[in-house]
Chains A and B, each alone.
Chain A
Amino acid sequence: MTREEFNKCADMYSDFVFRFVLKNISDYTSAEDIVQDSYEKMWLRHENIDFQKAKSYLFACAYSTMIDFLRKNHSKISTPIETGLNIAQESFPQFDGIKEALEFALKKLPAEQRSVIILRDYEGYSYEEISKITSLSLSAVKVYIFRGRVAMKNMLEKSGVTVTEF
């Protein structure tokens, strides 16, 4: 990747990476730092990175840095795959709108479940691509997405918000 292509990446992808990180850590300044850090890491290797793969590379860097950040801040990263799902059994406040309830439900998910769902929904990545970005196994990605969705659905159900029927 050339310098020009690298700079193009700043225009093209920084918003996406920023949204991904911000949605996960809910800290504007730290999210900006993680974006900058990811781009600096890519700059160090930019000559060896294919322009076509730059976006995935940025997401992988951001994900790795973000997980470190969350660990330092004692956030809940993951739940063992073998254990049952109990998030939906936790109590949480009532909400007026579906958007607030969804935001809350998303924040309640363990970071890995939240991350893979955001990558899936925001960026439309396939399970294989998410697996590469997050270094999680393919089966773990599927499990996290499935569990995350079930948990969010259960939380929405418990929140009492009105959902227009399908």
Chain B
Amino acid sequence: MQINKENIEEYLLDYSENNISEKDKKCVEDFLRKNPKYREMIEGLSDFKLNGENAVFEKKDSLKHTSEFDYPEFSYVDRLAVSVLEGVATSKELSEYQKLISESASFKKDVALYSQTKLQADSQIVYENKNDLKHFAFVFWRYAAAVAAVLIAGILTAVFYKDENISATSVYSYNFQVKIREAVVQEKIVENITAAAKPKIKQVVPLPEKKEDDITDIIIEKTENETLAGADLSSLRVENVLKNELPQTEVPKILAEKSEPQTKTKTNFIGSRLFRFAKKIDVEVYRNDDGSFFALDLITPNKKYSLKKL
């Protein structure tokens, strides 16, 4: 290695601290022997030591973040109160908090206000349609079963409906089936009838005598704000299906009043309900979107009435 004036400084510090290889040391000493002025540069170098290792930074605490909410732009009172409220206060903060509580009325007031900001969940608020969130296996079969129930009920209905000599036992059985049908179809009706005109029966009186093809007038009393618009009520009749089996007094004649044209239109009645169980005689008439009327049949275990459009 060649040491010259250009690179001697790179070696001088290491040489002075004896932190150099023997080979380099020898080269440096050769160079210094030939150039004594460089020796002067390193003389006393080893005596020059910084004497600051005992100096300490006395404000260490000011560098630390001891509080969870160390935001100097806010008052100490706010920071202390929120720390305690949030349950993150240090032991030092807690003791200061206790001290201030006992000494300062305004701090006490602030703490009272802060305690009110702790929210309580309202358990009255619940999500009502939890089942809608769930995912069930074999969903298809659930719907298929419902559809099958409707179809079976429909078939049974058609069969029994033609049977005029239906027995009390079979009527009961029949009712059971129709109830299923009603329950299924009812969902549609409830959903789609928003302003159904529900006429009220004004009077039900027995027919004076049995007739083979008894047709009576139905006059329908208007309901509040929901009447039948343009209803040609003469086209509706009550048909006694089992009239031959029923005592004469049980065959009703329904008298009601004709309605005024309605101002409110009924919307979207989809689907139909053929049978409805009721202990009292009741009639419901709905108007479809096309203006036609749909009358519900009424069946009770001992009486059957069919309200049909002619």
Q: Size class of A's contact patch? A: 35 or more
B132 at the A/B interface (Cβ < 8 Å)?
A: yes
Chain A residues with CB below 8 A from B73, complex form: 84
Q: With A and B bound together, what is the CA distance between A143 and B81 in angstroms?
A: 15
B74 at the A/B interface (Cβ < 8 Å)?
A: yes
Q: With A and B bound together, what is the CA distance between A74 and B300 in angstroms?
A: 59
A149 touching B112 in the complex, CB below 8 Å, given contacts A32-B127, A39-B133: no
Task: Kindly name the residue among B68, B73, B115, B125 whose own CB sees the greatest number of chain A CB atoms within 10 A.
Answer: B125
By beta carbon, the residue of chain A nearest B75 is A150
A54 at the A/B interface (Cβ < 8 Å)?
A: no
A92 at the A/B interface (Cβ < 8 Å)?
A: no
A165 touching B108 in the complex, CB below 8 Å, given contacts A121-B119, A153-B113, A156-B116: yes
What is the interface of chain A mostly: helix, strand, loop, or mixed? helix
A43 at the A/B interface (Cβ < 8 Å)?
A: yes
Chain B residues with CB below 8 A from A84, complex form: 73
Number of interface residues, chain B, beta carbon within 8 A: 39
Judging by beta carbons under 8 Å apart, are A122 and B119 in contact? yes
Q: With A and B bound together, what is the CA distance between A7 and B131 in angstroms?
A: 8
Q: With A and B bound together, what is the CA distance between A106 and B119 in angstroms?
A: 9
B205 at the A/B interface (Cβ < 8 Å)?
A: no
B117 at the A/B interface (Cβ < 8 Å)?
A: yes
Residues on B close to A: CB < 8 A? 68-69, 71, 73-74, 78-79, 81-82, 85-86, 101, 108-122, 125-127, 129-137
Can you list 21 A-B pairs with a CB-CB distance of less than 8 A? A15-B127, A35-B133, A36-B132, A36-B133, A39-B133, A117-B117, A118-B119, A121-B121, A142-B68, A142-B69, A146-B71, A146-B74, A148-B117, A149-B82, A149-B117, A153-B110, A153-B113, A153-B116, A156-B117, A166-B108, A166-B115
9 A-B pairs besides A6-B134, A152-B116, A165-B108 with CB distance below 8 A are A6-B135, A15-B125, A19-B125, A22-B125, A102-B116, A117-B119, A122-B119, A142-B68, A163-B116
